[in-house]
Amino acid sequence: MKTTKPANRRNFLLAAGLGSAGVAAAVVTAGSKARQPGAQPDAVDTATGYRASAHVLKYYQTTKV
């Protein structure tokens, strides 16, 4: 009968814990982005949650014939 080394399990649990901590830190930092002062807020359709951001509006301008 082959025995499993406990170090493998410990390494897995350590990596899983560090990975989830990294994801949590990324979510917190992404949520705390501040808008630039004087910048116009994006147009938001409240029914669908669609945002017409500046680059999308610029694209719409380039497609007009």
State residue 12's pLDDT score.
85
Tens of pLDDT along 8-63? 888 888 888 888 888 888 777 766 555 555 555 566 666 777 878 889 889 989 99
State residue 32's pLDDT score.
53
Closest CA to 44 of 56, 35, 34, 29: 56
Euclidean distance between CA atoms 60 and 39, whole angstroms: 20
The answer to whether residues 53 and 40 touch, using CB atoms and an 8 Å cutoff, is: no
Domain boundaries, the chain: 6-62
State residue 1's pLDDT score.
60
State residue 21's pLDDT score.
83
State residue 14's pLDDT score.
85
State residue 62's pLDDT score.
92
